[in-house]
Amino acid sequence: MDREKELMKKKLEEELNDVTFTRQNQVLLKIEKKSFREKMALFLNKEIEINVIPVSLAIMLIALPLSYGIFKNSNVSERKMIEIAGSYYWEDELEGRLNIDED
């Protein structure tokens, strides 16, 4: 087993004999510790993944109780219909228009 590893190592060294690193300084600079400004730039540059189903579910859970109060207050059954000359009008809207016309 050791003999096989040594043969593979020699073969790899022979194949990589012509390969040289030309950007050694750039690699070393990347290894060095980053400043706070660089860390902050990296942090702000991150991609954020938002799952649609949990977010939409959360919005619905928040919106439903809020909308319940709106629809509860606008109860249509409390309004009265009035018939005038074969046409039907809401009483409160008709009174509002009559008050505007009187002014």
Q: What is the rounded distance in angstroms from the CA atom of residue 103 to the CA atom of residue 95?
A: 13
- Identify which of 24-33, 52-61, 74-83 has the greatest average pLDDT: 52-61
d(CA 90, CA 79): 7
Confidence of residue 5 (pLDDT cuts 50, 70, 90): very high
Tokens at 79, concatenated: 């309004």
73 or 29, which is more confident? Answer: 29
The model's pLDDT over 22-53, given as tens digits with 9 standing for 90+, comes to 888 888 877 888 889 988 998 899 888 889 99
> How far apart (Å, rounded) are the C-alpha atoms in residues 23 and 29?
10
- Please say if the pLDDT value at position 86 is more than 90: no
